[in-house]
Amino acid sequence: MIPDFSRRRERLFRELKDRKLPNLLVTCPHNVTYLTGFTGEDGYLFANKDKVTILSDARYEEQLLQECPLDPVFIRDATITMIDATAKWLATQKLQNVCVESQTITLAQWEKLRGQIENIRLESCGGVIERLRERKDASEIEAIERAVSIAERSFVSVRAMLTGDMSEKTVADQLEYSIRKLGGTGSAFKSIVGVGSRAALPHGRPSAKRMDDDAFVLIDWGAKEDLYLSDMTRVIITGKPTSKLQKVYQTVLSAQEAAIRAIRPGILMSEVDAIARGIIEKAGFGKRFTHSLGHSFGLQIHESVRLAKGQERPLEADMVVTVEPGIYIPGILGVRIEDDVLVTKSGNRVLTSLPKQWDEIQR
Ligand code: ZN
Ligand code: ZN
C-alpha cells in the first residue's frame, strides 16, 4: 500500500490552523519522512499554510525526484550548512514569524537562525507532527504488521536452534542476522538478551553469559522493515525453573492480559497502566514493576503515547502501543512480556502472536 502523503499534509495544515500557527519548519528527519516519503538525512521541510517546500542539498536531488516528485524543492548551495541555507531561504519568504520544532533543533541552530533572520520572530512549537503520528493510517499499520511478522519469524528460527552453550551475544547476533535474511532492514533497536539474573537489568547489553547458566532467558527485540518497527519481549524457560519464577511469570502474564483486554478508544492511558500495576501490586511485587506499562512506536521505537501514571489522555482508534509489564528482582530474576496492540474503533487487535502461556515457553 502506497502512503497517502497529501492526506498527511492536509492533516498538518488543519492542525496548524487549529493551533493558530502560521507555519512550521520541520527539522526532525522522521517527521520529514512522514510528510513526504523523503528518507535522506539532510532534509528540512517548511509548511506554510497549505504549501510545503523541501529544503535539501544536491546529494539528494535525485532521491528527492524519486521519493517525492511533486514537491517544490529548494536545493542548498554545497558550500554552506543546512541551517545557514535555511535561514537564507526563510529570509526571502516575507514572513513575520517562523515556528520551529523545539524537540529537534539544537540551541546552536536556534542561535544561528535567530542571528540570520533578525526581523523574523522565532517561535518554539514542539510535538505538532508527533501528535499527528500517534494515529496510524492504513499503510503504516500494514508496515508495522510486516515488521512484526519478520520479528516473529526470526524469533521462531532462533528459538529452534537455541542450545545451552550459546551466549547472550550469539543469540542477539543470530536474531539480527535472521531479521536481515527475512527481508528486514535490521533490528529495530539493540536486542536485549538476558539470562537469569541478567534479565533484571531492563536494558542490559548482551554478554558472554550462556543459556545454560540459568533456567531462563529474556529476549526483547524488534525488526525494522523498510521504515517501520516492531517491539516484543518473550521469556524462554531453558532449564529447571524455580516456583518463584513461575509465580512471577504468571503474575506478569495476568497483568499483561488484563491490560490488553481493557484497551479501547476512550480509556485513559494512565488507566491501562493502573490495571496492570494493580494486579502486580496485589501479588506483592508492586515495587518491582519499575517502569511504565507501554509506549507507542512506528517510525521510531518510542513515540509520544505513553501508558503511564499521569498520562490523563484517552487512547484513540489507530494508535499502536506496546503492553509490557515486568517484575525485576535484582540479582535473581527479571520477567517482562511485551506485545504490540492496535487500538480499533471497537476495542483492540493484538498484532503480535507468539505464544506466551507457561507451558508454551518451555524450550
Ligand atoms: Zn521491547
Ligand atoms: Zn517496548
What pLDDT shows up at residue 70?
62
Nearest residue to 323 via CA among 338, 313, 310: 338
CA of 116 to the centre of ligand 2 (A): 41
Task: Please give the distance, rounded to the nearest whole angstrom, from the Cα atom of residue 263 to the centre of ligand 1.
Answer: 19
Whether 319 contacts 343, CB under 8 Å: yes
User: Each residue of 285-325: pLDDT tens digit?
Assistant: 999 999 999 999 999 999 999 999 999 999 999 999 999 99
Q: Between 111 and 270, name the one with better pLDDT.
A: 270
Radius of gyration of the chain (CA): 23
For the domain made up of 5-133, the CATH class stated in words is alpha beta
Give the confidence band of 356 by pLDDT, cuts at 50, 70, 90: very high
Location of each CATH 3.90.230.10 domain in the chain: 135-360
Over residues 210-233, the pLDDT tens digits come to 999 999 999 999 999 999 999 999
How far apart are alpha carbons 249 and 262 in whole angstroms? 20
Distance from the alpha carbon of residue 324 to the mean position of ligand 1, in angstroms = 8
- How many A from CA of 255 to the centre of ligand 1? 17
pLDDT at 239 over 70: yes
pLDDT beyond 80 at 146? yes
pLDDT of 64 higher than 80: no
Q: What is the distance, to the nearest Å, from the Cα of residue 52 to the centroid of all Cα atoms in its chain?
A: 26
- List CB contacts of 312: < 8 A, sequence separation 6 or more: 268, 269, 270
Interatomic CA distance for residues 190 and 334, integer angstroms? 18
- What number is the average pLDDT over the span 102-126? 89
C-alpha cell at 309: 501514571
Return the DSSP state at 199.
G
Measured on CA atoms in the order 155, 249, 228, 206, is the torsion positive or negative?
A: negative
Is the pLDDT at 58 greater than 80? The verdict is no
CA 326 to ligand 2 center in whole angstroms: 11
Every domain range in the chain assigned CATH 3.40.350.10: 5-133
For 135-360, CATH number out of 1.10.287.3510, 3.90.230.10, 3.40.10.10, 3.30.428.10 equals 3.90.230.10
